[in-house]
Structure 1
Amino acid sequence: MITGTPVPDSYYVRTDEHRFKPTAHAGGAWSSDEQHFSPLGGLVVHALDQYLAARPDRALVLSRISYDILGRPALDECEIQVETVRPGRTIELLEATVHIGGRAVVRARAWLLSAQDTTAVAGGAEERLTPPERLRPWPMAELWPGGYIASLDVRPVAPPQPGRTTAWVSTPLTLVAGEPSSPLASYLALVDTANGIAVRRSPREWMFPNVDLTVHLHRQPQAGWTGLDTTVVFGPTGQGLTSTVLHDVHGPVGHAQQILTVRPMPDA
């Protein structure tokens, strides 16, 4: 577990080219000695951005990223390695692997697609959400523990309901201390929060962590506020699904899905 003061106003501190140390702000909601996946997901995109920055611009944009959570992400230094799986001029597939303590704990694959002017045929997206500045904050930390949740400004569009909530999420913290992050990395660093805003049952009685996160984007989001229009379903045999329409302040940008393992707390 991370100790010591002062804590940087960021979720991570870079320790070398490929390694990052989480701060207390990255602390998880299910356990105080593990990382919340949301900032770690943003850190993966930060590493992808760094990898792409070393190459000539090919006018490709990240359009889908899928994360598989292979193991418990301890609140400890992590190493991120990126490689090209499928190179191409207009379509490319990258893979990033996060190692903690010598073990692969996250594997992410990102499809990059060519940027084209399709304004003339754009359409079909959902309606815009009520702007966050017109909404009141919600003390999400009363429901969930952990440094990450405590770092958030959460503003529901309507009172949260079991299995159904629409809310804006933002943070005053940077992703990596002393480093600018792309709007996409900053935006995606908040998406995994979706599984915690529309809980069907109390997390003191039931566990429902996600083992993956997949994000599809039809527009590149702007940083600042991440809008989560979220529905959570629990099935009858221990599986659940968190489905989210993603927004920024200009409107919808895509969708996110998280598969859940649902089980009662051991001492519940």
Structure 2
Amino acid sequence: MHAKTDSEVTSLDASSTTRSPRRAVYYVQSPSHDGEKTTTSLHSTPVLSPMGSPPHSHSSSSRFSGSRKINRSHNNKPNWKQHHIAVIEEEGLLQTEHTHHSLSRRCYFLAFLLGFFLLFSFFSLILWAASRPMKPHILIKSIKFDHLRVQAGSDSTGVATDMITMNSTVKFTYRNTGTFFGVHVTATPLDLSYSEIVIATGNLKKFYQSRKSERLVSVAVMGNKIPLYGSGASLSSTTGMPTVPVPLKLSFVIRSRAYVLGRLVKPKYYKRVECSINLDPKKINVPVSLKKSCTYD
């Protein structure tokens, strides 16, 4: 055997290195539990180098699985957010739809009320217009003087004057021409005057007249000891009865109110009546016709 030179040794090392590369050996230190005490033991399990050791593959797989979990968790977060946003959007749409339906119902209700009010007003206006021409028909028929007396006396202040006392009855017919409504009838006092002095008065009792009907009305017109002052000179006589015809005037206003549609449509009718009367002392207790002696406004 001869001693190898340095060059030969170097070439041999290079060739051996080329044929099989040396792998470094690592030792993993893992804890071992013995009861409550924990000791650290070194296992002689060799771990190959990073160049091709199996533990690296295990570590990489664990990392890959961990990264998949992380990616899954990261991927789940946007899904949860998208679901939450979708729920919020759906709730918003439902709330908007509910609000829209509520507004629609309100609008429909207000439109119904407005339409009903307009229709009812139009219908009431038609009824009012239709009832206006149906005015009541009034005809003064007669007046009868039951009692008449003129005598001397004095008024409430003690002034001497002629006094007149009169009882009479006025009759007239009242006809309701309305075809679909009745009327309530009142009147102002029936005044019988002589020379601008009211010497007798009468009150009409209120009554109701049904549709398309007629009645005969009698009103008592009376005066008791009404002072005539200077106007009574032509009426006085020894018998207490006038000797000449006495001009009188009868005047009053008849008021009629119809209830066409309850109290909502209630047309009113006014009729002013004026009659000129000639009181003939010879016709006491005899009805005097007034059919051609009255005017109606």
Query: TM-score when scaled to structure 1?
Result: 0.22
Task: Say which structure is richer in helix.
Answer: 2
| Structure of higher RCO (CA pairs closer than 8 Å, 6+ residues apart) | 1
Structure with greater Cα Rg: 2
